[in-house]
Chains A and B, each alone.
Chain A
Amino acid sequence: MRSAGNLWTRKHLLGMAGLAPEEIDTLLDTAVSLREVNRRDIKKVPTLRGKTVINLFYENSTRTRTSFELAGKRMSADVVNMSVASSSVKKGETLLDTLANLQAMNPDVVVIRHPESGVLEFLANNLDAALVNAGDGRHEHPTQGLLDLLTIQDHLPLLGQKSFAGLVVAICGDVLHSRVARSNAIGLKTLGATVRFVGPATLMPAQAAEAFGVTVHHRLEEGLAGAQVVMMLRLQNERMNSSYLPSVREYAAFWGLNRARLKLADPNAIVMHPGPINRGVEIASEVADDPERSVILEQVANGLAVRMAVLYLLCGAGVRR
């Protein structure tokens, strides 16, 4: 173990921003221990017995919600899912009122996904429960960032790296709308990696280089050159028919990762994608399904372990507050 001990002292997990390298290490070390639980015949530990986790999702999500639900259940917590379609939000209740009602049921952790960037900070100031950001607008998606870090960490030896320091990671595609890109860039920079944002100018945040300490590339070939980790981002359906792109076909032609383009990257480079993937748009099936390169399904498995670790540390296993 690299870290000196359990250094988790936070009440909430709102984002990767502000996490110290030691805090990220504590989270990843805990997740590594929890992976063992997921490989057993009996995939359950009694750790969070009597704890209540509420999944509150204001945006559709199957995989993240399922991952959090399973994470809670494997730790023996009681998990309740609330989705916007079936809740009183549709009846006009405000966000804070909804949360206050949940609060009255005394949950230990509330996992929230919401389309507004930064809404978690507001809620954290107004509620007692521990909050986990499961994606807020274009802002952050910290558990995705952590599961990506864990997946990359597993592959560091094969990439010829002792640590994240100096690792070259290319984050490619629709960076502008991607909270995954932001959480990853912040976490990777914290651990010392070199990060490239690669994408068309219309899908790149303004002043990305200054804001994130990354280099910005507007040609995929240039961004991929020598990269050890290639992280493709999902082109969201709602962007496909907007003024951001001339057409999906053109995007696929210029920005799709295929085997020929992947040859430009490091010979051992791994390919990641937060899912769900658009086959033939941002990533070709020949790459997505290549067992030598694609670690997409490892990301999903690591997501479960990371979310178990987050719930464990927020439910009281961290340093006393």
Chain B
Amino acid sequence: MPPTFEDKLLLSSPDTLALIDTLAARLCAGGGEADNWVVIGIRRGGALVAQRLWERLSQRLVQRIPIGFLDITFYRDDLDTIGPNPVVGATDLRMDIDDKRIILVDDVLFSGRTIRAAMNALFDYGRPERVDLLVLVDRGGRQLPIQPDHVGLVVQPEEGEFIKLLDTGEEMHVVRRKIRE
């Protein structure tokens, strides 16, 4: 029998969108020219957050900034230790990232391994001037020296709890998920 789980709502759909809007506002208020900004979302959850963030940034900024998506499956460090791997999504980086300021977006920051893989992937495409990490939720538990530059919400999950961004196609919300054996 597959394991069952219990979800507790952490961020409702309006809260999630409002939080992304706040992050967009903070980025714009942070100063600096947006001329060389590029938003890059990590598939899959980060891509959803990045899409929304990019829409908000596009409304606020005069410049048109590009958006790209990164699939890190081929850069993971756990080929032998976990399974099954998800079906691989496609990386979609059509822009030149040399000398760009990358805003790397993920939904939930945990061990930092995804970000490590994403940076390795990113540097196979070019040499950005700077990479900022923006995450919707930081849940702690880092296993690598990686820290976000922009955080929507910091939470401390209980033992055995996961933070998950759920996307129904029409709306997205964030839950605390507890797996029951």
Contacts and interface: CB of A to CB of B under 8 A. Distances in A.
Interface of A: 1, 3, 5-6, 8, 26, 29-30, 32-34, 36-37, 40-42, 44-48, 75, 312, 315-320
Contact of A40 (B85, B92, B125): B125
27 contacts: A1-B89, A3-B87, A5-B84, A5-B86, A6-B84, A6-B85, A8-B84, A30-B87, A30-B88, A32-B90, A33-B71, A33-B73, A33-B88, A34-B74, A40-B125, A42-B124, A45-B75, A47-B74, A47-B76, A48-B79, A75-B74, A317-B79, A317-B85, A318-B84, A319-B83, A320-B83, A320-B84
A48 B79 CA distance: 8
B120 interface: yes
B124 A44 contact: yes
Interface of B: 71, 73-76, 79-80, 83-92, 120-121, 124-125
Looking at A5, A33, A318, which has the most chain B CB atoms within 10 Å of its CB?
A: A33
A46 B75 contact: yes
Contact of B124 (A45, A48, A312): A45
B125 to A, nearest CB: 7
A33 B80 CA distance: 20
B162 to A, nearest CB: 18
Given A6-B86, A316-B83, A318-B84, A36 B91 contact: yes
B126 to A, nearest CB: 8
A167 B87 CA distance: 26
A46 B84 contact: no
Given A32-B90, A312-B74, A317-B84, 14 more contacts: A8-B84, A29-B87, A30-B88, A33-B74, A33-B91, A40-B124, A45-B74, A45-B124, A46-B74, A46-B75, A75-B74, A316-B83, A317-B83, A319-B83
A312 B120 CA distance: 19
Contact of B80 (A5, A30, A34, A316): A316
A319 to B, nearest CB: 4
Given A37-B74, A46-B75, A26 B87 contact: yes
Contacts of A75: 74
A312 B74 CA distance: 9
Contacts of A29: 87-88
B83 A33 contact: no
A319 B87 CA distance: 11
A26 B88 CA distance: 9
B90 to A, nearest CB: 5
Given A33-B73, A47-B79, A316-B80, A42 B85 contact: no
B79 to A, nearest CB: 5
Contacts of A26: 87
A47 B74 CA distance: 5
A42 B125 contact: yes
A318 B83 contact: yes
Nearest to B80: A316
Given A6-B86, A40-B125, A316-B83, A46 B73 contact: no
Nearest to B121: A45
Contacts of B124: 40, 42, 44-45
A319 B85 CA distance: 7
A305 B147 CA distance: 35
